[in-house]
Structure 1
Amino acid sequence: MAAHLLSPTPTPAGRGEVVRIGERVLFLAEIQVSRDLTEIRFMVSPADLRSGVQSLSAALERPGVSDASFEAVRKGSSEALGRAGSDISFVTLELFREKVYAGHAYGHPVVGTAPGLSSLTRGDVETFLKKHLRPGRTVLSVAGDVTAAAVQKLAQDLLGDWKDDPPTTPSPAPTPKGAPSANAGAQAGEFTRLVDASQSSVLVGVPGPAILDPEFDDLRLLAAALTILSFEDVVFTRRAAFSATAIPEALRAGGSLGLVVIAPHLRRDEAVFDVQKLMRRLAMETRQQKEVDDFARVEAARQASAFQGVLAMASTLGYRESTGLGALSVGRTIAPSASPSPARLKEIAARYLRPEAWVIVKVGPPSR
């Protein structure tokens, strides 16, 4: 059984304290922070769901952090941030997001910064929680051996008295008309960051549509094509890299698509050239229908994998509901459907994979 609460405003990362009934550990709440949302999630047996939600309800209605908890979380977050600085994959994605979402809050690191963490106070955290962790902007998602009616009654019993005063904007908050996309200020170009590592990471990416834009489904198909074709050529055939993965990112205010390649540092520039060549090919050549069908099946399988396990299912359904996609519509989006035509794939590639839009990131040791 997994339960999970979403708030539409990111909050400081950390893990909750152990909740006990007698000598038994009930759950260890886990905080997951993204650019759009904060998740508070835990796993319990069906019999302990009420006790778990009751503990969560008490924390939500009276948000507070002890001095010891605050210092422990800050220390853990600072240490994690320090370790992340030597992770080439992490550094690559954060540098890419800094550039593709330049000028927008999405460009700020989700994990925070060392100066920000050191200057943060317990009072800052409690004020933030009271302002942003509000019932009108949260979604409760439960997955497991339980009925919808039972969950509704449980939520009413335990959270029914949690009221907004004053009322807040319901979740998901509507996007203001005419608001610029989060990637409107994207900085195309080449960016390098030196990290002492045994391998290098390169990324070639572009701005993309927001999560509610129908074209994001096309971008996910394009990501599957990039992953499969780059693996076949760069990894399997020429053994010029260790891995290649396309990452489509859809957020409320805008998105992006990046192809990440992990390669020997002496072949870092070669990897960038390989990715650029592949992007040009997709934008100029018409693939066979069988290839497009294969891309679509791989993408459908990737989406279905988000429902492996109750915790992942609760997280995915809650995220869909909070962003306006609708949790109950998820079955329709991953069900097998007719693949787009090769001409459609070529059109989408030509529209998004334009060289003048490329954000190129190279991370690894200095060239020798």
Structure 2
Amino acid sequence: MKGTSNHKVMDKKIAEPVALGSYPPSDVTFLLKDLSDVSLELATEEREEAIQSGVHYSEMLPVEYQPTEQYIDLFHETLRQSAKKVALAVAIVSEMIVSRRGLSTVLVSLARAGTPIGILIKRYIAERYKVDLPHYSISIIRGKGIDENAILYILQKHGLDADLQFVDGWTGKGAIRGVLIDSCNTLYEKYGIRLNDDLAVLADPGNCAGMFGTREDYLIPSACLNSTVSGLMSRTVLHADLIGPEEFHGSKFYKEWLDADESNVFIDTICPYFPSVVAEAKNIAGQMLEHPPEITWQGLRDIQSIQETFGIDNINLIKPGVGETTRVLLRRVPWKILVDTMDNPNLKHILLLAKDRGVPVEIFPGMTYSCCGIIKPLKGETE
């Protein structure tokens, strides 16, 4: 690494992070600027119109969906049913991280869906290997890249040779994976920093991650809810008027919803299953390390097929996978939902939400995903 690059990294004065979120500080440090007092929320239709007319999604926030009692019950039921399955996926990914990267890794989860998964990985490694890995949650934004100041802050804290492991919840069509690859290349060109752009996720239905717990497209319960399962944090925001050159990307901390917060319930329900999945996780992780699964980007090809079938010009209007479809139903204007089959047990909450919002559901067999959410083009099919 060139000396000038070292100075560039170490001399930039990055603001110290403030305490944010409803997780214990020992679980995660959010490298985000607190925008709690700024009004950024737009009604769903208004926000959709802005996005489709060219305003970047990161410059505003959706009004957070307040789930019905029936939906919260579904979250708890899903969590009970899938806790061991999630624990196994966490354990597999954790074992792969330890084997590939060692026990001096810095976990860097991508806010906000990656945050609870990063906490689970940190907790598993602490319990299994008695090592407390540092864990940060930082912003990455499609079309704008990763939060450079957050990366520089981590390197200033942990050294230029720190080994960062990026973590997210799941893959959709692989857009964030692509942004991560591009961002790591940019950091190398700008600072001479070579980061490993591999992404560790629980579920990889998009077939675009090298470390994953499963490629099954199932409901990770944290996809059911928004801020109330992500430490009460909003989506991340990057707006030139609000974020200075040495500040982190922004986010809001919704303290007013503390009574409805499920963030720690989610973590505390899954962690007790860790001891019972260690042997199976080691076995599966060992096989995957010996015979690394191919990264085929098959999910992206499926999306292109859907694009052609329905005449959709803008690929960003197609949101594949259970997690992304849930988000479409919670905070976008859905046009229709495609499912591989109506009796897929992973789709109970999708069908409930679709019914709740009056969104048609169609069968589209042969996808690598369980389902896809298609956002309604507001100005005709071509925009």
TM-score category (smaller protein): under 0.3
- Give me the TM-score of the superposition, normalised by structure 2: 0.23
- Give me the TM-score of the superposition, normalised by structure 1: 0.24
